[in-house]
Structure 1
């Protein structure tokens, strides 16, 4: 009796559902939703490598798949492929291969180990030696069921929600919910509430969502008595400028000085501290050049360097903004992510110190 297989599902269907299953904020989301992941999952479904079936797949099944074979839905052909690629002759299958043999590593290390296995969507045999060439991976049944072509509309939405609740960690779910809430708020531009109680409407867009989080979430968590001295948007539109507080602490704000997106002050201990914040949706981190230019401003106002800190704010560690600019971040600055609001990243120097942002790092939530 031949082994049963799940319904045939085209690669395009798998690819279309992955971003719904793994929304923004999912750890290593890029590894889980890219084309290589879609083809990996398709291949596992194609040969019936599901948890409990006794059938397993390996990277070889993915990189030796051909476009022509992937379009053949006959069960006997699918079963034949599962064993054919493992033959000593190299499992030659007619057609245009998807990938060369050297794609083994990114399938194994990124798509599987750091992506689908880490999340719990794929299970791995632990009874095989690491040097074994036998297939060792299988799709978790709850995950495989999400690709049933008969599952559509509200039923698919409910199944995806159930999978996310059961398999994504609490921290991952928190990141997802924060990012989804931010995306929903971006349609008409978020309304930001400042520490003074004053409110302003920001322009629509991802930068405004991050700026709102800096003012309403970051400032409350990391500053003792926060104040916003300056907030501007793209196009040099000034949303807030508090010259009264700035003058009281000796800082002269000049709009033509290429100021950052935000200037915050901590007035809590009798010694005003300044925090310059760049908001990054796609570009514009606190670089060495930017830090140096801003220090000229604070030194001219008589601020000691140890009372000045620099922050680059992002939506998420998985976001393109962080990936694009992380190499540009200046030493002695910090990075903060809207999706993980209680954490702070310090760019340490060779002495293990964060330089001019040291006072900010010591204000981590829960620290004295």
Structure 2
């Protein structure tokens, strides 16, 4: 059986960021140079689903630029045979050091490409076996056809993403596309009472919209928006009537959070209410310890009861730089929520010790 055609490595490198856009989990593992070279090596040995050809990580690390340029059938098959030999002499100008096979295997393949269903694993091969056992998903491999360009390529990429990426991954991608669109267009937000407000273009507005339209009805019983502001202290919404009814004082001159949600709970009179101070993080500004102390102090002065306070930092996605950058700063006793995974809520527990089993 003739080995498959090999796409130029520059095409692989250029297309990976489009196939795995921002929001893809462990994106760095599947768009970096090592990923492109791993995929090229798979093409080189003919390791594409259905061909019954497989690769092992050491073949990626043993590849050289000189060998990669020899794309005729005879050279490829000779190299494959030699790369599997126990008597082979390792080239001095190999792509990677011999011990780099672990990041190829554990990061690029197992953590990156396999969960994205871009690579398939040969069944029946023990984990510790040295036998080759990885191959490209056939539909994924087809995305690197040099003759596939323009709109045809984009349609093919989107079809592959829809068929192979998980629901969570697709949710992330849709959210990231919304963020890109919001960079140019105003963001319309529907409040719990049906009122519609418009926010300025930008990723912060996308997160704020998700907090109000998704987080609030999912995690609060009777949510309402008491306060909503944008960067530059622009007040978008301020419910004076509710604040007065609850005996709360909102001083716009203070360093208020981006959003203040109120959950009236089961008590319409406000005795069972929960006030959720929310910071939207598109770049920086999470609720850290100092911010929590300041907001608590301000809330107590305004007439809030500390038992009815909650603190939330909202992000677009936990794979993004803003989350990774600020996770270590988040205040104990606060919550973190990501719009890309709306059903989950992270709690930084600060109460008494408790067992993990009832």
* Counterparts of residues 22-37 of structure 1 (less than 5 Å): 22-37=20-35
Deviation (angstroms), 1:19: 2.3
Deviation (angstroms), 1:103: 2.0
User: What TM-score results when the alignment is normalised by the length of structure 2?
Assistant: 0.89
Residue in 2 that maps onto 1:13: 11
Residue in 2 that maps onto 1:321: 322
Deviation (angstroms), 1:257: 2.7
Give yes or no for the alignment of 1:86 onto 2:84: yes
Once residues 352 and 28 of structure 1 are traced to their aligned partners in structure 2, the CA distance between those partners, rounded to angstroms, is: 33
Give yes or no for the alignment of 1:99 onto 2:100: no
Deviation (angstroms), 1:90: 5.0
Q: Structure 1 pair 313/61, CA: closer, same or farther in 2 (3 Å)?
A: same
* Counterparts of residues 54-203 of structure 1 (less than 5 Å): 54-89=52-87, 91-93=89-91, 95=93, 97-203=94-200
Deviation (angstroms), 1:51: 1.9
Once residues 238 and 75 of structure 2 are traced to their aligned partners in structure 1, the CA distance between those partners, rounded to angstroms, is: 69
RMSD in angstroms over aligned alpha carbons? 2.3
Deviation (angstroms), 1:12: 1.8
Once residues 218 and 82 of structure 1 are traced to their aligned partners in structure 2, the CA distance between those partners, rounded to angstroms, is: 53
User: What TM-score results when the alignment is normalised by the length of structure 1?
Assistant: 0.86
CA contact (8 A) 1:7 1:149 kept: no
Deviation (angstroms), 1:211: 0.8
- SS of 1:217's partner is helix
The answer for unaligned runs of 5 or more in structure 1 is: 354-368
The answer for unaligned runs of 5 or more in structure 2 is: none
Residue in 2 that maps onto 1:332: 333
Residue in 2 that maps onto 1:300: 301
CA contact (8 A) 1:50 1:138 kept: yes
CA contact (8 A) 1:186 1:209 kept: no
The size of the alignment, in residue pairs, is 350
CA contact (8 A) 1:174 1:339 kept: yes
CA contact (8 A) 2:179 2:202 kept: no
The more displaced of 34-43 and 86-95 is 86-95
Once residues 283 and 11 of structure 2 are traced to their aligned partners in structure 1, the CA distance between those partners, rounded to angstroms, is: 30
Deviation (angstroms), 1:350: 6.5
CA contact (8 A) 2:168 2:340 kept: no
Once residues 351 and 35 of structure 1 are traced to their aligned partners in structure 2, the CA distance between those partners, rounded to angstroms, is: 47
